[in-house]
Structure 1
Amino acid sequence: MKFRLSALALLSATAGCTTPVAQVSPPVPVGVASFNMAWAGTEADFTTHLAMCTAVEWCDTRPRRKQGETTPSPEAIATARRCEAAIDQFAGGARQAMQIAPCNAYKGRNAADTVTLANYQKKLAGLRATIASLIEKDGVQVIAFQEVKSDQVIRDVLGVHAATFDVCYAPHNAFQTVAFAWNKAVTQKPGQCASRTELAVAEDPANPANFRTVRPGLALELTIHGQPVTFMNVHLKSSCANLKANGPFPARTLDDADAACRVLNRQVPALEDWIEAVDAKSPRFVLLGDFNRRIDEEAAETLAPMQVRTDGSDPAGPNKKDGLGYVASKYLWQEISDGKPTLHQVPLSSLDTGCKGFTGLDHIVLSDALKALQTTATLTSRKVPVVNEPRQVIETSDHCPRIMTLNL
């Protein structure tokens, strides 16, 4: 016997039975910060610095120009070279000397005798208080550091929070490198760190004997809200910052003949390849750190694709290197955010009272996929002041931390 249910009977039979609906949990808010800590090392690192600079009478390895001079005099160049030789002799060689902070590293002193361990300890105390405020007041859970010597100094300045944070850093052949600290509770799987040594390009690629390189990058992959997210920490070559002239800082594009711009130019393809590799693997990523470039000025320029490179080629296409690694790139931002992938700068909404130091160099940039997760239409970040004691001789830092809350 066959049974046929009417529509009404079928509706009655299924009353009260509903199809389960997958519950989508809301995004997890995660505080993120980028903080350049200005030649931060351990007390032992500083003690070595102090001994070296005392031995060489606080000389400077940079040739000094007198007022009105466009280039240093032969005498100034000779003086700087004698200083460099004395430092190398103290350290046991040029490579070893690169692991010691130079004599002009710690600002704010009036005379050499004010650079004491006690004064450096105040700098460390200021860093410790600044980071404690980021964690306790601002809810920061992931911090990208620049200008640090090692993972040990990060643990030192984390202070009472060292037990709840994991740390990694990018080993480098010079004092300054980059590092991360992250709250262990923010990730469902242990964090994975990887140095990006391809960003550490040679200062002088035409010299086969050159061993001086700029800083590497560092990637940190965390699992947040069940999905991977990659944080990419950079500290790019300095002294080629401005697209628009500002006081003593000239306007320069990356094809400029200036030596610093030439180094930054050779970092462009390495950075772009890294971004594209991360995007292909996991499109949720954050690029942050000290770019040493006003990419906000670049982004404000209205440029046709053919204007981004000197050869007129499309920035979304291959970027050909010459024999020394130079490329045709004139603009950093238009190269890395060329639509493959598209990136989004997080603008600075406010500068907290008391925040001094460099502006326009530290940035936070989001991938397109990560921007889509944010619940507010307008992305914002802010800078918060570092902690300094009154009349502190060695300043805590010449950068302010840049922070934001991300929905992940």
Structure 2
Amino acid sequence: MTIRSVLLASLLAGLASCTAPQAVPRQDVADHLAVRPLKVASWNLEFLAERNGTGCEPRTDVDYAAMRRIVDTLDADVIAFQEAENEAAAARVFDPSRYTIVMEKRHGVASGSCGGKQPGQQFIRQAVGFAIRKGVPFDRNPDVTTLQLGNPQLRSGVDIRVRAPGHQPTRLLAVHLKSGCFQGDRAQACGVLQQQVPVLEQWIDAAAAGPDRFIVLGDWNRRLAEAGDAVWTELDDGNPANADLRLADEGVTPQCDPRYRSFIDHIVFDRRAAGQSSGFAEMTYAPGQKHLSDHCPVSALVSG
């Protein structure tokens, strides 16, 4: 299904009516999850601001409403998101009656102008978080602030443990790594990314030695599926055994933007979760359709 078809269906039904799939009533969440896998997703929201007309991707009420319809149609149980200014901004896309929003506690520094993309507009804070379906119990672990490398402009990771009814406990880490080192090691940003990789590996190795299966998902800003990618090789070393990782998008070519042949938004399963995962999907924009973000949502399923 394309995002264009989602929006068209909503418009035909009447913008004044509630056309999105209905939220699962809280008392029925256990039954809902007991009969289907846990659906996890990630979406970089591209400078999602709290207020209309602000940030490097200024939006209108119509844009925010369209983004919320996309989330409703995605119908994921847990969504990692990136580039939201604050909880109020996230709530414009993730319906608070359906989702609990948790975000990194890093304050960040919103400074500088957007340049040629939006002359005169100012940067906003870009933060990482999760939207978790109401009624799905979860615990929040301390943010992985070491991913910041002491720099308030770099994002920390958000670490939660989901205890979905009918499923094993699952630990999830939402990340947004340094941009600009999409492959190889020669770009200026690669030095920073290369410092984040061992920090992330430390978290992975500790989680792999723990009792719960885990998933790392978000905007990695790296084409991990490229043959021989050094970052993927370092992380996917199988030591400890549960650090034998799997890319949900392995073997899939992205369709979100024809300029790109490989994903940078990834859902990565540990060995335990990989054996119960399936159904990777990308929700795409149709040709000519307005891109409400420069990224498309990706999702996957994990059962058991």
TM-score (norm 2): 0.73
The answer to whether residue 78 in structure 2 is matched with residue 146 in structure 1 is no
TM-score (norm 1): 0.55
Select which of 188, 193, 196 maps to 1:264: 193
Aligned residue number for residue 183 of structure 1: 133
SS in 2 for 1:194: coil
- After TM superposition, the structure 1 = structure 2 runs for residues 6-17 of structure 1, keeping only pairs within 5 Å, are none
The answer to whether residue 176 in structure 2 is matched with residue 235 in structure 1 is yes
Structure with greater helix percent? 1
Cα distance in structure 1, aligned partners of 2:279 and 2:71:
20
Select which of 93, 107, 113 maps to 1:157: 93
Select which of 136, 144, 157 maps to 1:217: 157
The answer to whether residue 287 in structure 2 is matched with residue 384 in structure 1 is no
SS in 1 for 2:96: helix
- After TM superposition, the structure 1 = structure 2 runs for residues 2-401 of structure 1, keeping only pairs within 5 Å, are 28-43=36-51, 46-47=53-54, 101=55, 105-106=56-57, 119-135=59-75, 140-158=76-94, 161-172=95-106, 173-174=108-109, 175-185=125-135, 187=136, 189-202=137-150, 212-224=152-164, 225=166, 227-242=168-183, 252-253=184-185, 256=186, 258-297=187-226, 300-301=227-228, 331-340=230-239, 341-347=243-249, 349=252, 355-356=256-257, 359-374=262-277, 379-385=278-284, 395-401=291-297
- The amino acid of 2:244's aligned partner reads T
- The amino acid of 2:134's aligned partner reads K
Aligned residue number for residue 249 of structure 1: none
Contact kept? 1:201, 1:213, Cα under 8 Å = no
Cα distance in structure 1, aligned partners of 2:253 and 2:223:
17
% identical equivalent positions:
29
Q: 1:168 to 1:331 in 2, by over 3 A?
A: same
Over aligned residue pairs, what C-alpha RMSD do you find? 2.7
Cα distance in structure 2, aligned partners of 1:367 and 1:220:
15
Return the index of the structure with the highest Cα Rg.
1
What per-residue deviation string (whole Å, max 9, x for no partner) do you get for residues 262-303 of structure 1?
Answer: 000110111011111222223411111111111100xx33xx
Deviation at residue 154 of structure 1 after TM alignment = 1.8
Q: 1:162 to 1:389 in 2, by over 3 A?
A: farther
Contact kept? 1:145, 1:180, Cα under 8 Å = yes
Deviation at residue 198 of structure 1 after TM alignment = 0.6
Cα distance in structure 1, aligned partners of 2:234 and 2:35:
31
Structure 2: gaps (5+ residues): 1-33, 110-124
What per-residue deviation string (whole Å, max 9, x for no partner) do you get for residues 153-206 of structure 1?
Answer: 222212xx4213211000221311111011123x3x34425311111124xxxx
Contact kept? 2:138, 2:160, Cα under 8 Å = no
SS in 2 for 1:42: coil
Structure 1: gaps (5+ residues): 1-25, 48-100, 107-114, 203-210, 243-251, 302-329
- The amino acid of 1:182's aligned partner reads I
